[in-house]
Amino acid sequence: MFSKRSLTRIVRRPDGVFIDLSGKMNGRGAYLHDHKTCWERGLKGALANALRVSLTAEDRQRLEDYMASLPDDSAEPAAGTVPESKAM
């Protein structure tokens, strides 16, 4: 499980789906980890299900633009592995 601070909140509001970096927007929220693979899986349908909404083209574009700003997953070690700098 991840701490809330390492997750990005996405919120459904009457005027669309938005990234909530403050974590304080009103509306139904869902959280994604800041890894592109998590966002890719979320945009395939899990996020829309969690928010109980059908993503509009505008919502999807807004979320994809944010996803593009995230660092590549290859920059981080896989879960359960030791980074090369820490290996003995």
3-state secondary structure of 10: strand
Q: 54-67 pLDDT, tens per residue?
A: 999 999 999 999 99
What band does 74 get if pLDDT is binned at 50, 70 and 90? Answer: low
Sequence-separated (6 or more) residues with CB below 8 Å from residue 84: none
Q: 42-51 pLDDT, tens per residue?
A: 999 999 999 9
User: Is the CATH number 3.30.1700.10 carried by domain 4-73?
Assistant: no
Give CA–CA dist 59/55, Å, rounded.
6
Going by the DSSP 8-state scheme, the letter that residue 14 receives in this structure is T
> What mean pLDDT comes out for the span 26-47?
94
> Does 5 have pLDDT greater than 80?
no
**Could you identify the residue written with the tokens 């944010």?**
66
